[in-house]
Every structure is written in C-alpha cells, then in structure tokens.
Amino acid sequence: MFLKFLFPRICVGCGSESAWLCERCAVHVIVNKTLFARQQKGALDGVIAVTSYSSPEARGLIKLLKYRGAYDVEQALHVFVQHFVKGFFVMPVLDALVPVPLHKRRLHERGFNQAEILARVWSPILCAPVVDVLERTRYTSIQAHLPRLERLTNMRDVFSVKQPCATLKSVALIDDVCTTGATLEACAHTLKKGGVKQVFGLVFAVEE
Ligand SMILES: [Zn+2]
C-alpha cells in the first residue's frame, strides 16, 4: 500500500493514474488470433504469441516488466493472457512451462527474471506447472545489433539442462519477446537433447 502511494500506477495506454493498464485501454488491446505466430524449421515446434510488439500497450507493459521491475504488472498481464486463451478452443496440452533463464550475473543485476514472472501468470490459466529445468551457462552480451545468423551462432552452447527431462513430452518455453527466435531455438535444441519431445515458444509479444 505504501509503495502504491509512492509510485502511483500510470496506465501504459492513456497515462491516467489508475492501473498499469486501465479498463478502457484493455478493451483496445490487440490480442493475437492465430495459434502459431511463427512456424519454425529447427528444434522449436512453433511460436505462440499473445500479442504483437507493435501494440503500444504491449510495449509499455514489457518495458515496465523488464526495466522497472514493477511489482504488480502481473495483474495487467493476466488480463491480456486470459483474453488470449479465451480466443482458442484448442491449445497444445503442456506438461510444463519452462522460463527462458537469465545468466546468474544478469539475474543478480536485475533482481528478477521477467520470463519467470510471465510463466507464473500463464501457469494457472494453462494448468501446467512452472518447471525450472534450464540453466544459462554462458553470459552473452546484448546482441540486438547482430544479424540473425550471427545471433544463432552466438547462442550455441549457451543453455544446458539441470536435470534429465525425458518425462516431459510437451513443454512451452516462456519469454517476454520473440525477435528472431534465436534464444528460443537454442533453448528448444537443449531441451530436445535432454529428452523433451515437443517444444513450443510461448511469448508475450512477437516482433514482426
Ligand atoms: Zn488507459
């Protein structure tokens, strides 16, 4: 309550002082209507996205989540995700949600993993537990400027599994944004080597 008083919630859509996403703006949010935002050729079986990165409200929420570490953005995200899930009759049956891990150095700098926050939001809606089986073993610098092929090469051997995961048939990797898909692809490759049969990427926003 005290924090709420010190840092009022400003709507990412209209700037009104009410919630991170006010009810009026939530209605205008573009929620993805196609199950697969992107089909993949590699280890990843497909990318499912809640919304597009071109939506200003989505960008605002991601910024809040990632850089300000807003403690209660979860609630606003929940609205998005529920709208999204309601739009589908069939979602893949998932055994687990696996957040894309941060390297422990970056986790220390940021204090939280935004992918883990998202996984917690998804979990009750999709009735799948959050299972933290992946580990980021190599620290990679921010690579937004690199072309796709270099990003893919740079992501080789970045992740490893913490435990055998052959009991997991179908999992969704959770991340906030999918740009080239290089991170999701590297994670999917590692999970499949670890015994998982089917790996989807489930992201909040896809950059088109
Ligand atoms: Zn608003």
Instruction: Tell me how far the alpha carbon of residue 78 lies from the centroid of ligand 1, in angstroms.
Output: 16
More confident position, 77 or 174: 174
Q: Give the count of beta carbons closer than 10 Å to the beta carbon of residue 200.
A: 23
Q: Is residue 80 part of a domain?
A: yes
Q: Is residue 17 part of a domain?
A: no
Q: Is residue 135 part of a domain?
A: yes
Lowest-pLDDT range of 69-78, 108-117, 129-138: 69-78
Task: Judge whether residue 60 has pLDDT over 70.
Answer: yes
Supply the pLDDT for residue 57.
87
What pTM did the predictor assign?
A: 0.86
Instruction: Tell me how far the alpha carbon of residue 11 lies from the centroid of ligand 1, in angstroms.
Output: 5
Instruction: Tell me how far the alpha carbon of residue 131 lies from the centroid of ligand 1, in angstroms.
Output: 34
pLDDT tens digits, 141-165: 666 666 767 776 777 789 999 988 8
Q: In whole numbers, what is the pLDDT of the chain averaged over residues?
A: 83
Supply the pLDDT for residue 40.
65
Q: Is residue 133 part of a domain?
A: yes
pLDDT tens digits, 87-98: 665 677 899 999
Q: Is residue 18 part of a domain?
A: no
CATH code assigned at 114: 3.40.50
Supply the pLDDT for residue 153.
72
Q: Is residue 156 part of a domain?
A: yes
Supply the pLDDT for residue 69.
66
Supply the pLDDT for residue 82.
75
Overall average pLDDT of the 113-124 stretch: 90
- Residue 161: strand pairing partners: 134
In the chain, the percentage of residues whose pLDDT exceeds 90 is 33
Overall average pLDDT of the 38-52 stretch: 83
What are the distances in angstroms from CA 119 to CA 1, 28, 126, 177, 204? 25, 24, 10, 13, 10
Q: Say how far apart CA 59 and CA 55 lie, in whole Å.
A: 6
Instruction: Tell me how far the alpha carbon of residue 60 lies from the centroid of ligand 1, in angstroms.
Output: 11
Q: Is residue 101 part of a domain?
A: yes
Supply the pLDDT for residue 62.
87
Instruction: Tell me how far the alpha carbon of residue 5 lies from the centroid of ligand 1, in angstroms.
Output: 19
Q: Give the count of beta carbons closer than 10 Å to the beta carbon of residue 194.
A: 18
Supply the pLDDT for residue 35.
65
Instruction: Tell me how far the alpha carbon of residue 32 lies from the centroid of ligand 1, in angstroms.
Output: 20
Q: Is residue 21 part of a domain?
A: no
pLDDT tens digits, 27-38: 777 777 666 666
Instruction: Tell me how far the alpha carbon of residue 18 lies from the centroid of ligand 1, in angstroms.
Output: 8
Q: What does the DSSP 8-state code read for residue 61?
A: H
Residue 197's domain spans which residues?
Answer: 31-206
Q: What is the DSSP string of 109-142?
A: HHSS-HHHHHHHHHHHHHT--B---EEE-S----
Count of domains for the chain = 1
Supply the pLDDT for residue 88.
66
